[in-house]
Every structure is written in C-alpha cells, then in structure tokens.
Amino acid sequence: MKRLLFGFICALALSGCAATYDHGTPTLGDKPPAGASAPVTVGIIALNDFHGALEPPNQSVLADSGDGHLVQVPAGGAAWLASAVDTLRREYADSVTVAAGDLISASQVSSSIFLDEPAIGVMNRIGLDFSAVGNHEFDSGSDELLRKQNGGCAKYTQRQPCQVEQFGGAKFQYLAASTHRADGSTIFPATGLKSFGTGAAKVTIGFIGLTLKGTKDLVPAAGIPGITFADEADTINALVPKLKDEGADAIVVLIHQGGHTDPPDPNGCSGFTGDILPILARLDPRVDVVVSGHTHWAYVCNYGDVDPSRPFLLTSAGVYGELLTDITLSIDPAAGRVVAKRAHNVIVQSRPYVASRSEIPNSPLFPQFTPRPDVTDYVKLYTDRAASVALRPVGRIAQAALKGVGPDGGPAGNLIADADLAATRPAGAQIAFINPFGVRAALQPTADGTLTFGDIYKTQPFGDSLITQTMTGAELKAVLEQGFDNDGPEQHLTGSMGFRYWYDNSRPAGDRIVRMELDGKPIDPGADYRVTTDTYLVGGGDTFTLFGTQRGAVTGIKDIEALEAWIKGETPRAVPQEERAIAAGPAH
C-alpha cells in the first residue's frame, strides 16, 4: 500500500460516485444507443483477497436493511462461495469468473499449513478462469508461486508440500503483466482472452492482470531475486492496443490495488480515496472495467463521474470470499465495444456465528446460500487433517484482544509486541515492534478466555522469525519516522511494554516523532538499544527499510511461537489496552 497523494479535489469528485439503483441493482455506465444491433450479454463474477478462507471467517458484512438501518450479515466460507458463484452463473448464458489477487497466504491454518494447496483447490472447484497475482502470492517466493500454478511436490519452503494429496496446480491462469524477470519476460502471461458466441454474434473480452508496483516492499526480497514490478498504468496502457489488435471487444483490468469508501457501503463509492486513484487517472479510456483488491474494502464505482472520458467501472469484493461482484457487460459485436455495463456486490451469506458473546444471526433480507457439497467435503478433508493443530488450546486471555483501526495495531498489537519482547529477552531485547498490517485479526476467546492455536494463527499467520539487533536512539527515531513519511500509508509501529512515543503530523516528514520513552526515561539518540522485530520488517517490509542495520543480530523463534508462549505464561494473560503511539498534545 502507498499513501494517496492525489489531492483533495479528486477525493471530493469521487464522493459523488455512489451507485444509482434500479429495483435494488446498481446500474452504471453507458446506455445502448437507439437502433443498435442486439448486444451480447456477458456476466463477470469477480472476487479478491480470498486469503485461503476455507471456512467461514466468523465475520459479517455491514449492509443496508432497506429502511436506513444497517444490519450485520454473516458471510464467507468456500462451500458457500461456490454456491453463490453457481447461482450468479445461472443468470447468464455466458460468463467468466475472475479474481484480483491474494487468493493465498495470510490464510486460515487449515490452508496455510498445507502451503495453501487447498485454497488453489477451492478456486479450481469454483471454476475460476483468471486471477491477477497479488503481493501475498509472493510471500513464499517466486519458485513456490510457480509451483502453485504448475503443480508438483517440489519443496521450496520449510513446510512439506503434498501432505494430503498430489498437488496438480491451478486450473485457472495467473496473470502478471507488470512482474518481470531479469530478462524482461513476465513471470506469468500478461493477458488473457475469452470469447463467447460464434459468427457475427461472437464477442471477446481481454483481461490484463497485475499487482501493485509496491509489491517489492511488501514481500521478502530473498524470495523474488531478479524480479521487478513495473508501473501499473504504463503496463496497462501498453497492453490495451495489443488486446484490441487481438480482437478484444471489451477490456477488463484485474489489479491488486484499491481504495476505501467513507462511509462503508458494499455497493457505493462515497468519499472514495486510495492508492489506485492516480493509476485510474492515467488509464487508456478503452478500459471498460477495473476489478481491484488489496485494501479488503468493498465498493462499486463509476469513474465516469470523475472523468467522463473514462467511464469504466471500478469494483472490489472486500475480503475472505464474503462478497462476490456481479458485473454485467452488454457488448455490441458489430461495433466491437461495450454499450452498457452495471455491477453490484452480492453478500455470500453463510452460517451464523458468535462474536463478543453475542450471536450474529442470518438475515432474511438477503439470500442465504446452501454450502456446495463437493466443496464442503473437500474443505473437510483439510480441516480434519489440520484439526489436531488448529483446535489445540494454547492458553487463556482476560478479554478479547481487538485489532487496531487504521494505522494502529491496537490491543492485539500490544499483546504481540509484549510476547516478542519476552521471547527475545535472552538476546538482550529491550524493545520489540509489530507493524499494524502484521496484525491480521482480533483474538476472540471462548467464554472462559480460551484461545486455540487456530485463533492465534489467524492473528499471526506469516511464520516470521524474530530478530534482535542493536540500534541507536537516533536510528530508532528514523525507523519510526518511516511510518509517518509520504511514501506509504501512515503506520504506527506498536512498541512493547514500557516503550511509548509521541508524534505530530503537523510537522514536516522526517521530523514527526517528537518524543520517545523507555520505562519513563527519554530515549538517548546516541545510546545503543536492543530492538526486536521480525524477518519481514528487517527485510524492508511495509517500507520500513531502516530496520535492516542488523548490528549484533540474533535470530530467535517464530513469532507465533512467541505469542503462544506468552499467553501460556499467565492464566489468564492480561490484554494491554493503553496507547503506545500517541498523538502529541500542546505540551509536546
């Protein structure tokens, strides 16, 4: 993710992008011209950021009940997702199913411990056609990603592949238009074509798939040797005429980059901001649809409200298979262009669940899908094998450890940072840090406070090792400043117990950290401190490039091992609620 520097005017312009409704269905884009030949209708079913969510993630979609009130709708789960895809397909004589990346990694334990082979298996069973690569596709390195596409049991990670079954690879095609090897070739094809109908009624859709340029800052550098990520808009614009020459009547971009709306609305676009905006502003006007992701936010936008010369749709289906985007294109085969388009997000309503000791029930206001039996059985194959790992109790906490909102790690981040510090005290650690995007989920215990390994795995699914190194107070300030610079989203590194810092965003970049304390004493710029982070941050992840000094570095246990040990060490373990990154007041 990169911080938006697109300007207030464009943000205001997009605030008018909320979809209009026709009997409950958002209708966006051009209308067929009078007297035109009968168009061919093609349905595009889109998702993004599945993250190996084989089972319902016990999360809900906040939706409008129709009377001005919001209702929580339980959603997600691979078997329900498969049923929802089938339901949407039945609405079309012709359809294609696509994704905008991050199908794998940062996954549920039942997928992750099997190297996300079951996540690929689910997508094969759903009938996915094309997917962009996301940044998380590269988490285990490019060789392992190629195995995901091509199949086989070659071992490129610490985990053993093919533990449950022979892995045949993805039946869908990954697209990676902007991901180049040293020789200039792309790691996967840049584009794909799919045609429908025959003769004079034949139409063809061209797809361009790519990840965000900042992927290099989000994955371990050792896993992508010689690989570069090109500018997104330049890449897309170079490929549009190529696809047109190959007979594409419509152009659909699958891009792993996105934005946010304010307020949240799965079928709206009010107050839209995000790092995708500068890309959209430069796109070839012949693009018809942009299917996006990365931000885990759901929206449907008509970019034509901002720039009438670029009337493409912009969509995102949120995260974890909780939504699907139903996109309809009407294509004139004689003119070779799209004459009408519309899109709306469909909630993949699944089973009710209990959150914070209260049930989130099903809602009769929205369709409820029946889990597809074959996908249910397939998921059970893996969840049963993972049960001995996932259901093992690891300890108790005094209350739910909530994930922070926006740039903060929240109480869950506090708990993780404290765990990392405790685990690396033998290496001399005085301070530990966790980045807010490294806290993937809240820790929600049972009524008696119990957490399972599966619970903590949802929060820390990466398997990074802890590294303790020596940094001066000045170096410590410099790395904290990177969370407040203009090169990425604002990120408040969460420090461990005893460490606090104050920031002032009104000051110039590079001078926004105004005070740091350890155990109530100011940090000395010239003194040495032993600081713990993980392999991701030491490798420059999330643009924290200054953690890479590695003076006196000692590699410790895995982050999830540290969290488990910390929770076990006190019954129940208290969850620290205090702010550790504090907006500076007048005294500072």
pLDDT of residue 515: 97
- pLDDT tens-digit readout, 106-138: 899 999 999 999 999 999 999 999 999 999 999
pLDDT of residue 9: 29
Q: Which fold has domain 8-382?
A: Purple Acid Phosphatase; chain A, domain 2 (3.60.21)
Residue bearing the bigger pLDDT, 264 or 278: 278
- Rounded to 5 degrees, what are φ and ψ at 316? -155, 140
Count of C-beta atoms within a 10 Å radius of residue 406: 11
Burial of 500 (0-12, 13-18, 19+ CB in 10 A): middle
296, 59 Cβ separation under 8 angstroms: no
| Average of per-residue pLDDT across 437-444 | 91
In the β-sheet with 173-175, what is the strand arrangement from edge to edge? 21-22, 25-28, 337-347, 323-332, 40-47, 95-99, 130-132, 173-175
pLDDT of residue 11: 33
| Average of per-residue pLDDT across 328-332 | 98
Give yes or no for residue 586 having a pLDDT over 70. Answer: no
Count of C-beta atoms within a 10 Å radius of residue 177: 26
pLDDT of residue 33: 52
Give yes or no for residue 153 having a pLDDT over 60. Answer: yes
User: For the chain, which residues make up each domain, given as ranges?
Assistant: 8-382, 392-583
Confidence of residue 15 (pLDDT cuts 50, 70, 90): very low
In this structure, the dihedral spanned by the alpha carbons of residues 502, 428, 223 and 406, taken in order and rounded to 10 degrees, is -20
Confidence of residue 221 (pLDDT cuts 50, 70, 90): confident
pLDDT of residue 341: 98
Element holding 466 (H helix, E strand) = strand 465-472
pLDDT of residue 1: 32
**CB hemisphere CA count around 22 (13 angstroms):** 5
Question: Which amino acid is residue 271, in one-letter code?
Answer: G
- pLDDT tens-digit readout, 406-418: 899 999 999 999 9
Give yes or no for residue 82 having a pLDDT over 70. Answer: yes
Give the chain's count of helices (H) and strands (E): 13, 31
Cβ-Cβ contacts under 8 Å for 562 (sequence gap 6 or more): 419, 420, 422, 423, 424, 466, 556
Q: Which residue has the tokens 């390994």?
A: 453
| Average of per-residue pLDDT across 194-212 | 97
Q: Is 392-583 the same fold as 8-382?
A: no
Give yes or no for residue 587 having a pLDDT over 60. Answer: no
Cα 471 to Cα 421: distance, rounded to the nearest angstrom: 15
- pLDDT tens-digit readout, 333-353: 999 999 999 999 999 999 999
The CATH architecture one would assign to domain 392-583 is: Alpha-Beta Complex (3.90)
Give yes or no for residue 3 having a pLDDT over 70. Answer: no
| Average of per-residue pLDDT across 168-175 | 98
Residue bearing the bigger pLDDT, 463 or 454: 454
Cβ-Cβ contacts under 8 Å for 205 (sequence gap 6 or more): 42, 44, 96, 193, 194, 195, 196, 248, 249, 250, 251, 252, 329, 331
Give yes or no for residue 356 having a pLDDT over 90. Answer: no
Cβ-Cβ contacts under 8 Å for 41 (sequence gap 6 or more): 92, 93, 94, 328, 329, 330, 331
| Average of per-residue pLDDT across 290-317 | 96
Residues of the chain by 3-state class (helix, strand, coil), percent to 5: 25, 30, 45
pLDDT of residue 357: 65
Residue bearing the bigger pLDDT, 531 or 587: 531
Confidence of residue 498 (pLDDT cuts 50, 70, 90): very high
State what percent of residues in the chain have pLDDT above 70.
93
458, 545 Cβ separation under 8 angstroms: no
CA-closest candidate to residue 176, choices 255, 248, 257: 255
pLDDT of residue 200: 94
pLDDT of residue 4: 28
Give yes or no for residue 16 having a pLDDT over 70. Answer: no
Give yes or no for residue 234 having a pLDDT over 70. Answer: yes
Confidence of residue 268 (pLDDT cuts 50, 70, 90): very high
Give yes or no for residue 28 having a pLDDT over 60. Answer: no
Least confident segment among 34-48, 175-189, 560-574: 34-48
In the β-sheet with 494-495, what is the strand arrangement from edge to edge? 494-495, 431-434, 528-534, 465-472, 551-558
